[in-house]
Chain A
């Protein structure tokens, strides 16, 4: 393809926008031919590669809390290398954690079933498996706590004896641990009139009367007060976590599937007492991640094993280990929403109880996002949010596509429909009446720009044939806003190669979302050359400049601008071009004022469905999502991202739930844990909304959060008020009008529903 046709094709893409049926897969691909992901043409970290690698198996706690009192290793062959917390101590490795330093490489005091307590290293995987099965562990058990509400109760036992603090960690921001409790971070929003009051540090009861702030609702004629739940869920990347590590003349080299190469470099340097430059992270394309491959997972233990053994070491998790490695935060969210009789929103109060499991990981960040996303794209006089990141003895919660927004949008958008019912106002109209418009101020003090909530709402409503004040049986809508990681930095470099092609050097990891294709297309556009002239280098911290990480749908938004600068620089100065962008911001943890996000992910969804009143089975007729993308770089890729988000949202809404018995996960496999299948997605359609001349917006997660409440609102239109995800047929039946009052009285707190 020559330059002019390449550009013509791009123009065509831009003109046509993205729709559904028009483009065949691959048709707009900048990478010519069949996608190598389909032809097995990619080598993943799980495929290994360093000759002479030994294999690591992690020995995991079978108790949710307690102490390891001994290992019996008499049956191990001599060649097996056995690693314990003693080796961690001997190496002097400190505690670590991306936001709170609360983890150790191997622990004597396991805090969840599956916590890494030892490891075996053997020349073959089979030998490593056998060795792992031959080690016997004795424990002293301790009581454990699993539920976030039990863990925040005043007399709850503490998962960690004291709160660690550290400001040197890779994703640190201002933490607010609450001493003497399991709350490792508390995030609050208080709009102007609600600031500076005398308040309890932690609110532990779901029916707390909230006396200190009750006057916020003084002007409200109607108040909805309801509690919603979301369970733990699994990311289910096809490729498991896989790490290869080797020490080369005092430098640590790690080839691993990670979304966070530079955070990884910093955290490993901290653990092993090295300069950042002495750690090299190489990231082959990943077979999916969805948040599961952020921060340190298998990397630190693999690096330690490589150091102790003096050999390259490889560690690949089994499927059940992937399930237990990191999960989506289970959460309980209470929403109090007040409005005037004419529908004008007055005040919103949110309490989000975020179960981060045994370690904080990035739970504090998730708690913050859950806190403000639950406010929604609406105008309020008063907003007060308390979001608590709470330790329990479950596997750690971490980044998960939708990043906290899903849990609180589920709650808050269901609450809007309850309010609409109570007021007798059409649910779309009620939303429209209160939406944030250009120039309005969000609860964080940010003035909205480039906001398209009304178009998104109308688009979703029309997709299900919503008529104002018409019959809405089986129909539901939802709208949401979600932020991007802020502050955030991205750097890109473009180098002219001797053969005349250009190499793009960027830290954006490709996990199937099409990152390298995005970089290829944009570089070709900025350099006004053919896509064939662009090579994208694998993220390698020795070769690519700094980037915050590949999370929070930030990469296309941030990297596109860094790349544009780099191209500009190169065109002016010859053979190498540098580009750098930085978005400042952050929120005050006590008032929630500041800059939550440098741009907003805006999305809506609508559902139209039937409920079988005898079996509770939900049959989707239409599931639709509309996401604002600003400028679209790769139309086909954008469609896939939006659909992928919807499918995840659909699974969360109807099927997905990790179950535990005494802290032990009981369904860590794909038979007992059900994700949406090809046959479930027939009802899906969507739109990627773009506007000529707009800036690139993130799109990777936008359609996740609005899907569950859109479905929930449609189900509720028949009188089934389900408050707990997933909406299994059983829970739908239990929420039938005969079981419960159809509209709970003002101030009514809904407890656990369902079996």
Chain B
């Protein structure tokens, strides 16, 4: 087994290019469970823990979140809380402080677990991932990054280096529905972000990836309960739901209508 600990993004992408089988380790909260459960075995590992440039968090213009920024930092950072309250709320909703102290932004996006909190809010906030490899770097909107259950559009030698979130111009609301313990993953994850009078509602954790229906959002009349209800009903109907321990497909369909309506009324006020 080899374990390498590069100190720069350059070194990481070179190591990846040489050995695309090697596994990137960020906070290790997801990988740790897979390894313990015997679901993942690998000979080579690349740890990001010494790559200082990946831990940068900048909020001067857009919000730039290095891939190794921990959830807890986004939850507590004054600027993020003040200017991107939706982002702070979505990361605060994850698990427990113990997990948030180690889990990273790159990790939650790259694992593409459907039952996550941040993706719906990142999509609603029109966030973009910056991705690097030896071939250069590219930017991909989060809704294109996550393509399905545990799958992304990342090439096998690519690395997420940061996530960029534009400055919001309007209110944002994050609603996590927990059906079991307070530390559980979401049964539904609804984000609503208002931008120049239009809203982006994104529903996550109920199917393979987050869903956004621009045509439904375009019908929104702020503050109007009927409009909110109709949009909620539209989302409920269009998504194909999964069954899991946090709720059946039928239950999810029912509560998505409620949660979308509530989110829309909250961003109206």
Contact = CB atoms under 8 A, between A and B. Distances in A.
Contacts of A733: 251, 254
B33 A729 contact: no
Contacts of B177: 615, 617
Contacts of B33: 671
A677 interface: yes
B224 interface: no
Contacts of B187: 729
Given A659-B245, A667-B245, A669-B37, A675 B258 contact: no
B179 A679 contact: no
B178 A755 contact: no
A655 B180 contact: yes
Among A614, A669, A676, A733, the most chain B Cβ lie within 10 Å of the Cβ of: A614
A677 B245 contact: no
B219 interface: no
B248 A679 contact: no
Contacts of A320: 37
A623 to B, nearest CB: 13
A86 interface: no
Contacts of B181: 651, 655, 674-677, 679-680
A320 B244 CA distance: 18
Interface in B147-185: 177-185
Contacts of B254: 733
A617 B175 CA distance: 14
Contact of B96 (A651, A679, A730, A755): A679
Contacts of B255: 614-615, 729
A614 B184 CA distance: 20
A730 B250 CA distance: 9
A103 to B, nearest CB: 27
B122 to A, nearest CB: 22
A679 B182 contact: yes
Contact of A728 (B37, B179, B183, B244): B179
B119 interface: no
B248 A729 contact: no
Interface residues of B, number: 24
B182 A730 contact: no
A654 B254 CA distance: 20
Given A614-B258, A615-B258, A617-B178, A729 B96 contact: no
Interface string B242-266: 0011011011001100110000000
B258 A728 contact: no
B180 A654 contact: yes
A652 to B, nearest CB: 12
Contacts of B179: 617, 728-730
Interface in B167-212: 177-185, 187
A566 to B, nearest CB: 44
B247 A730 contact: yes
A678 B96 contact: yes
* Dominant secondary structure of chain A at its interface with chain B: loop
Nearest to A755: B248
B258 A729 contact: no
A438 interface: no
Nearest to B255: A615
A27 interface: no
Contacts of B247: 728-730
Contacts of B245: 659, 667, 672-674
A143 B183 CA distance: 39
Contacts, number: 60
B30 to A, nearest CB: 11
A384 B181 CA distance: 38
A669 B32 CA distance: 14
B94 to A, nearest CB: 12
A730 B180 contact: no
A614 B37 CA distance: 37
B258 A679 contact: no
A614 B256 CA distance: 10
B95 to A, nearest CB: 9
Interface in B24-47: 33, 37-38
Interface string A617-629: 1000000000000
Interface in B214-231: none
B91 to A, nearest CB: 16
Interface string A656-673: 000100000001010111
A254 to B, nearest CB: 27
Contacts of B38: 129
Contacts of B183: 677-680
A128 to B, nearest CB: 13
Interface in A470-508: none
B251 A729 contact: yes
Given A667-B245, A755-B250, A674 B180 contact: yes
Interface string A679-692: 11000000000000
A313 B207 CA distance: 47
B224 to A, nearest CB: 19
A529 B255 CA distance: 63
Contact of A730 (B37, B248, B259): B248
B180 A728 contact: yes
A728 B180 CA distance: 7
Contacts of B250: 755
A659 B244 CA distance: 11
A320 B37 CA distance: 9
A673 B254 CA distance: 23
Nearest to B179: A729
Interface string A577-591: 000000000000000
A617 B248 CA distance: 14
A674 B247 CA distance: 13
A385 B251 CA distance: 38
Interface in A572-617: 614-615, 617
B248 A677 contact: no
A706 B244 CA distance: 29
Contacts of A676: 181
Nearest to A657: B245
B149 to A, nearest CB: 15
Interface string A727-738: 011100100000
A215 B57 CA distance: 77
B155 to A, nearest CB: 29
A568 B45 CA distance: 64
Contacts of A679: 96, 181-183
A755 B182 contact: no
Kindly name the residue among B179, B244, B248, B259 whose own CB sees the greatest number of chain A CB atoms within 10 A. Answer: B179
A674 B251 contact: no
Nearest to B95: A677
Contacts of A617: 177-179
Contacts of B244: 672
A320 B38 CA distance: 11
Interface string A147-179: 000000000000000000000000000000000
Given A671-B33, A730-B251, A755-B248, A680 B258 contact: no
A522 B251 CA distance: 54
B251 A755 contact: yes
A651 B182 CA distance: 11
Contacts of B178: 617
Nearest to A677: B183
A677 to B, nearest CB: 4
Q: Which 5 A-B pairs have the closest CB atoms?
A: A679-B182, A677-B183, A674-B180, A614-B258, A655-B180
28 contacts: A614-B255, A617-B177, A617-B179, A651-B181, A654-B180, A655-B181, A659-B245, A669-B37, A673-B245, A674-B245, A675-B181, A676-B181, A677-B182, A678-B96, A678-B183, A679-B96, A679-B183, A680-B183, A728-B179, A728-B247, A729-B187, A729-B247, A729-B251, A730-B179, A730-B248, A733-B254, A755-B250, A755-B251
Given A677-B181, A728-B247, A733-B254, 19 more contacts: A129-B38, A320-B37, A617-B177, A669-B37, A671-B33, A671-B185, A672-B244, A673-B245, A674-B184, A677-B184, A680-B182, A728-B179, A729-B179, A729-B255, A730-B247, A730-B248, A730-B251, A755-B248, A755-B250
